[in-house]
Amino acid sequence: MPLRSVLAGVGSALPQRRVDNAELAAEVDTSDGWIVERTGIRTRYIAGKDETTASLAAEASRRALEQAGLEPADVGLIVLATATPDQTFPSSATKVQHLLGIKDAIAFDVHAVCTGFLYALTVADSMLRGGNARTALVIGSETFSRILDWEDRTTCVLFGDGAGAAVLRAEEDSRTDSGKERGILATRLHADGQWGDMLYVDGGPSTTGTVGKLRMKGREVFRHAVVNLADVLGEVLEAASLTPADVDWVVPHQANARIIDATARKLGLDPARVVLTVDQHANTSAASVPLALDVAIRDGRVKTGDTVVLEAMGGGFTWGAAVLRV
């Protein structure tokens, strides 16, 4: 039988410092009401000096492996999605490998900003089904606070730091109690570079020689996000021979509560079946989807046998979606 990538465990990690809107308003020209009305965000977590993309990723990975009942030595593939690596090179994935004590594995980073976890998941799925490894760690980890312009109130209030991880196992025949196949059923990815100046960082090693700061044209991003996400959700469901009525949960990229609501309404999805954590974590870029998935699995909403759709859109533009049966 053909191999399928089955979700074996999830985990997440957040920095120690939690910053609510009131604390942020004491430093930035904003208010709790302004932020909540426009984004739904109430708190976010900000990494301290000793907390990095790799250290948060490693902690999320440990928790995912523990839930899966596996040891680090079982991992043969690490794909880490991030736009804020610890260093230009080596990859943060190899740093996570070292932190976990894994001596030999395939390890590399994927850079697709907020869609990064969907890209990483798709790559890992292909590699597992191709026989390159039996067990994969797929991670989204970010420290966006390092690239924010804290004088730009329209962007700095939107983002937070964190990490989420998923363990995938290549299985020949894993089924639910009702006999349905478990694992990743379909993925779809897209990119269109003509919109690169809508959401970007104004620096880089090959251009300015500096890290740069995040810049965003919020209204244009909102408009593209609602259209693109609705389209790719419909596309991935069709690829899996499913309809919106077959979906138990949608775990979207946690960018903005209004984008999430508008996308759900456009597809006729029940808002009660959409996992929302943006109020707690803000936009954690590539970490947001696995972080939200971990929350929903651990609080009992998402259960074994549920059909779950993951979706995200980020700078580039990039966007994508995946359907999996837990």
Q: Which residues are catalytic?
A: 114, 253, 283
Alpha carbon separation from 284 to 276, 302, 312 (Å, rounded): 13, 21, 12
Contact 80/95 with Cβ under 8 angstroms?
A: no
Rg (CA), the chain: 18
Count, residues in the chain: 326
Rounded Cα distance between 91 and 208, Å, is 21
Rounded Cα distance between 233 and 317, Å, is 16
For residue 161, list its beta bridge partners. 143
Both tokens of 34, joined, read 């302004």
Both tokens of 129, joined, read 């089904």
Sign of CA dihedral 232, 159, 23, 151: negative
Residues 6+ apart with CB under 8 A from 49: none
Do β-strands 4-13 and 17-20 pair in parallel, antiparallel, or remain unpaired?
Answer: unpaired
